[in-house]
Structure 1
Amino acid sequence: MPIVGMNAQIPSGEVVVVIDVIRAFTTAAVAFERGAMEIACAPTADIGRELRRQHRDSLLVGETNGLKPADFDFGNSPFEMSTAQLDGRSLIQATTNGTLGLARCPDPAALLAVSARNVGATARWIASNHADVPWTLICTGRTAEDWACARYLGDLLGGSTPPRADLVAAIMDGAAEHTRNRAQLPESERVDLSEDLRFCCDVDRSEFAMVGEIRKDHVALTMAPC
């Protein structure tokens, strides 16, 4: 049962889990913690904008090249989301990797979004609802954190108990990779992860899975406590 990158062919009929630790699905998990009812995950910023034109009461969340577009209500930041008042609100999220990854899964048995924050709950949800179905884990980024989270989830699904400290260390390594990759950019184009990292590293803080429903131009995530 494979762990793959974004360019892999995704088979039909499997449980597909899309992983984005820094930062899309950590941000989504915090949004649900703050009371969001549904998150419409758009594959591009422009589709996100179109969804907001159709649903004026929804808040638009996300990033382009890591940074919050001027017309978005929130950036792709779990720290920023942690103080938002979202009770009963619907969100639209558009990010470079995470929400795009969800759009690449046309016919799954189940589709889930995961970060370290809800990895244990995701394993429990799969075990309760699709225990005998093959699964594929998609790492949307190339840095260490998504692959470590995939291995951690794979171990949980296999019945073992991997050490959280190893996952946290990999998330910190991944953040350092992000910083190095952007070091040559102008300061205005760099992404400051310092306030977000404690949310990204908070393994199993969220006791719910984020389950996706495929719609015409997006994937709608809802919270499934478990």
Structure 2
Amino acid sequence: MSIVDRDAEVPPGAVVVVVDVIRAFTTAAVAFERGATDIVCVPSVEAGRAFRRAHPDRLLAGETSGLRPADFDFGNSPAEMATARLDGRGLIQATTNGTRGLARHRNPAALLAVSAANVGATARWITRRHPGTRYAIVCTGSTAEDRACATYLSALLHGADPSRADLVAGIVAGAAEHARSYARKPASGRVDLSGDLPYCCDVDRSGLALVGAVGADHVTLTPVPA
């Protein structure tokens, strides 16, 4: 097994890598740069609110249809997260694709979240800690950027030297797909990705693998040097 879509059934015991480039796991990578201690990923905004009621010290980040809910501290935006002061704070993240896809996998050998920002670190972490273990790279979105990142990661895991230019081109193409989709919505429902795209295209800006610990109804990501 190699690259699969979000709804694919992944057998227990595989290394599972969940991809969301625009924007969940790029945002997560930036949050760790800004000092977040960990990120609790939940499958819905309702679950995020419930988790914060139980843990009011945590900050809440995420989106519904791409937009930040009014009661959330942050949206699903790496550009926004890049100015946040997060030293020593834990986050909760709830997104349409990335965190929902991450929470589906209950019995992996290892569970990781990846974007272009940490794709190289993710490959190194897997190669060093789980050599020879079967893996599944899960594309949580249907647009070009996740497939491009998954293809790049798979090539790294096979010992190849993939083209960064091809990866960036795939991300740009995916952003254009998102833009065309948003253009069909009323002005109040549109999302401007122009500020986030440079972060999404910044291949290997992070040297951290985002490793997930599976909880009862969530996955907690922690940053691990590769």
Same fold (TM over 0.5): yes
- Are 1:45 and 2:69 an aligned pair? no
Deviations 1:43-94 (A, max 9, x none): 0000000000011110000000100000000000000000100011000000
SS at match of 1:18: strand
- Are 1:8 and 2:8 an aligned pair? yes
Measured in 2, the distance between the counterparts of 1:8 and 1:49 equals 28
Which residue matches 2:21? 21
Q: TM-score, normalised by structure 1?
A: 0.99
CA deviation after TM superposition for structure 1 residue 132, in Å: 1.3
Q: Percent identity?
A: 65
Measured in 1, the distance between the counterparts of 2:7 and 2:47 equals 21
Which residue identity lines up with residue 46 of structure 2 in the other structure?
Answer: D
Which residue identity lines up with residue 115 of structure 1 in the other structure?
Answer: S
Matches within 5 A, 1:21-170: 21-170=21-170
SS at match of 1:66: coil
Measured in 2, the distance between the counterparts of 1:118 and 1:89 equals 21
Measured in 1, the distance between the counterparts of 2:127 and 2:110 equals 12
Superposed CA RMSD in Å reads 0.5
CA deviation after TM superposition for structure 1 residue 183, in Å: 1.3
* Structure 2 unaligned spans of 5+: none
- Equivalent pairs counted in the alignment come to 226
CA deviation after TM superposition for structure 1 residue 162, in Å: 0.3
Which residue identity lines up with residue 10 of structure 2 in the other structure?
Answer: I
SS at match of 2:21: coil
Measured in 2, the distance between the counterparts of 1:27 and 1:121 equals 16
Measured in 2, the distance between the counterparts of 1:106 and 1:58 equals 24
Deviations 1:146-203 (A, max 9, x none): 0000000000000011010110011000000001112111011011000000000000
SS at match of 2:183: coil
Which residue identity lines up with residue 144 of structure 1 in the other structure?
Answer: A
